[in-house]
Structure 1
Amino acid sequence: MNTSELNRFIVVLIYGSLVLLSLLKLSNPLRVNRKANFWFGIFLFLWSSFWMDEALTMVKDSPVEIHSIIVVQMIQFLTPIMFYFSVLFYTNPSFKFKISDLKYLILPLIFCINIMLQRFGGFEDHNIFSYVFIGLILFQALFYTGLSYLTIRKHKKKIQQFSANTEGINLNWLEYITIIIFIINIVYLVYNLSYDSTALNFFINGAFLLVIYFVGYYSLKQKEIYPVAEKQLEELISISEDPETEEVKKKLISDEELIKIKKHLEEIMVIQKPYLDSELNLIRLSELLAISTHHLSYVINTGFKKNFFQYINEYRIHYAKKLLKDPQSKLSILGIAYESGFNSKTSFNTTFKKLTDQTPSEYKNGSGL
């Protein structure tokens, strides 16, 4: 099998995989992250259209250029926007479109006008429209990729305000996708402007196939990011990812009340050890103290100068350090991780290293200082 035949085989895999994956996300058999998975399924289906020409060419055994059809060009142009919409709903299931969101139609409208002028405007020189065409595609892709990346980064900060175990809900896989697609598009653009793009097709398609399998694996195993009731969801979403900014804006409780709740919280942490529950979140802890999630978040942010993630995991690491140095303990590193409230060895090692500058194994075998 030569390179050309292998490339055609890869194209079939890419197109088939994207269509199948899009149907799985749209049907959403696990019924998780429903709105996000709907938009992500639309994105995957639109993304598959970029390989439709090659797939149909192989079926008909003659050149097919679906991408030249205006409707198809518009659909393809909307692909980055669909990806961004999925990110919006992954990070905020309560997101609702408003009149102001019509701004998302500005670039597609300009793109459509450019196509119409190029096709039916009667202009002899189409070069300027071609440059605008390419520029709009590039700008749209880079703009929404960057916006998606920033949205995910904000999400990762926000979830630390109410979750002590962020692994599985931090959307790392989605962040990696934005970076990888950004890099591949830049490489392809530079190569397309400087060399013969067809020479790169095999490698670009191979890279995209790996990305698609990566997307399939992690998107299908993505669990519900906010597995709480609607009212609680609204409370969590409204908590700011930047506690310092929130503190400047408003003072939720008096200093006397802050000290009282802070003392009560420390007593509960020492006596009841709720941090050993791997599913502990801001809602569960606020129920133990019989206060609102906003007040508890304010107490942790203002009274301890930490977010919820840092506050809880410091207790967990302190508990784990005792187990690691206990000569009577027969637990493995993984066992100690679970015993201390972590839900994976990876998150345990990462958090332990961050707080102690040592891995759990180094701490156990070293001085422990």
Structure 2
Amino acid sequence: MDTSELNRFVVILIYGSLVLLSLLKLSNPLKVNRKANFWFGIFLFLWSSFWLDETLSLVLRSEIQIHSIFMVQFVQFLTPVIFYFSVLFYTNPSFKFKLSDVKYFILPFIFLIILFLQRKETIESDSAFFEFLEIIYISLILIQALFYTGLSYFTIRKHQKKIQQFSANTEGINLNWLEYIILIIFVINIVYIIYNLSYDSTSLNFFINAAFLLVIYFVAFYSLKQKEIYPVEEKQREELISIDENAETEGVRKKLISDDELLKLKNQLETLMDIEKPYLDSELNLIRLSELLSISTHHLSYVINTGFQKNFFQYVNEYRIEYAKKLLKDSSKNKLSILGIAYESGFNSKTSFNTTFKKLTNQTPSEFKK
């Protein structure tokens, strides 16, 4: 099988995989992150259309150019925007579109005008102006991709900081999989567009398509195992979303309770952590701890941020690491593996345990034990 045949096979796999994954995300059999999965499913379907020409050409055995259709070009241009919408809903399921959000469609509107002008110039054959429009056309595609790639990336980074205010185990909800692939997807897209406008090499297209296929399988694996990020119960979800991700920063902290009340709650919290050891529960979050202390989530967050100068993630995991250190020193626990100690200490994975342990002690658990 030569390179061109391999490339055709890979193209069919790419298109089929994206359409199938799109249908899975839209149907959302696990019923999690509903709005986010809806927009992500639309994004995947639009993304698959970039291989529609090649797929139809292979199936019908004749040259098909769907991408030259006016509406197809416009809809494909929306792909990065739709991706950003999915990121918005992953990081904030309560997000609602407002009139001010019309700004997201400024670039698509300009692109639509360019498409109209291109059609008009094609008919009138003004080559100089047509070339000028072609430059703007390509520039808008690149600007759109780069802008929404960056915006999505920083939205995810902000989310990763925010969830540390209410969760002590962030591994399954930090959207790391999106952060890792986000730049790769659009960098490959940009390379693909630029290269195919300048050259025609089946060999390079094969390697680019193969890279896309690997990324798609990576997306499929992590997107399908993505669990619910925020509580399903609306009141709890709204409480957590409203917590400021910068609350531990001195400059943005607002005084919610008096200093005397703060000191009293600090002591109650420390007593609770020492006696009942709620941190050993791997599912502990701000809501559960606030219920144990019989205070609101906002007040508890304020106590931890202001009273201990830490976020919830740091505060709880310091207790877990101290408990793990005791287990590692205890000769009667020698039969426990590192993973066993991680679970005993309240962590839900060896990776998060090792990372947190190394960060707080400058040693791995194995090094500490030795």
TM tier, smaller: over 0.9
Distance in 2 of aligned mates of 1:120 and 1:206: 37
Distance in 2 of aligned mates of 1:201 and 1:164: 44
Distance in 1 of aligned mates of 2:172 and 2:83: 20
The aligned residue for residue 341 of structure 1 is 346
Indicate the SS of the match to 2:331.
Answer: coil
The aligned residue for residue 248 of structure 1 is 252
The aligned residue for residue 287 of structure 2 is 283
Aligned partner of 1:180: which letter? I
8 Å CA contact 1:188, 1:197 repeated in 2? no
Distance in 1 of aligned mates of 2:61 and 2:252: 66
Distance in 2 of aligned mates of 1:116 and 1:156: 41
The aligned residue for residue 295 of structure 1 is 299
Distance in 2 of aligned mates of 1:147 and 1:295: 31
Deviations 1:228-287 (A, max 9, x none): 410010010011111245763521111111111001000000000000000000000001
Distance in 2 of aligned mates of 1:91 and 1:142: 20
TM-score by length of 2: 0.96
120, 123, 126: which is aligned to 1:124? 126
Instruction: After superposing the two structures, state which structure 1 stretch, 206-215 or 179-188, moved more.
Output: 179-188
Deviations 1:103-139 (A, max 9, x none): 1111111001001001114350210010000000000
Judged with a 3 Å threshold, the aligned counterparts in structure 2 of structure 1 residues 193 and 45 are, in CA distance, closer, same or farther, namely closer
Alignment of 1:188-199 (within 5 A): 188=192, 191-192=195-196, 195-196=199-200, 198-199=202-203
1:352 lines up with 2:357 in the alignment:
yes
Indicate the SS of the match to 1:243.
Answer: coil
**1:227: Cα distance to partner?**
2.7
The aligned residue for residue 79 of structure 1 is 79
1:50 lines up with 2:45 in the alignment:
no
Distance in 2 of aligned mates of 1:123 and 1:102: 34
8 Å CA contact 2:246, 2:252 repeated in 1? no
Distance in 2 of aligned mates of 1:364 and 1:187: 48
Aligned partner of 1:167: which letter? E
Indicate the SS of the match to 2:315.
Answer: helix
Judged with a 3 Å threshold, the aligned counterparts in structure 2 of structure 1 residues 198 and 115 are, in CA distance, closer, same or farther, namely farther
Aligned partner of 2:222: which letter? Y
TM-score by length of 1: 0.96
159, 162, 169: which is aligned to 2:166? 162
Distance in 1 of aligned mates of 2:98 and 2:249: 26
8 Å CA contact 2:354, 2:364 repeated in 1? yes
Distance in 2 of aligned mates of 1:279 and 1:34: 22
Alignment of 1:288-327 (within 5 A): 288-327=292-331
Aligned partner of 1:124: which letter? D
Judged with a 3 Å threshold, the aligned counterparts in structure 2 of structure 1 residues 319 and 244 are, in CA distance, closer, same or farther, namely closer
8 Å CA contact 1:247, 1:302 repeated in 2? no
8 Å CA contact 2:7, 2:202 repeated in 1? no
The aligned residue for residue 363 of structure 1 is 368
1:113 lines up with 2:113 in the alignment:
yes
Aligned partner of 1:87: which letter? V
**Tell me, which stretches of 5 or more residues in structure 1 are unaligned?**
none
Judged with a 3 Å threshold, the aligned counterparts in structure 2 of structure 1 residues 67 and 193 are, in CA distance, closer, same or farther, namely closer
The aligned residue for residue 41 of structure 2 is 41
Distance in 1 of aligned mates of 2:267 and 2:291: 16
Distance in 1 of aligned mates of 2:190 and 2:74: 21
**1:197: Cα distance to partner?**
5.2
**Tell me, which stretches of 5 or more residues in structure 2 are unaligned?**
none
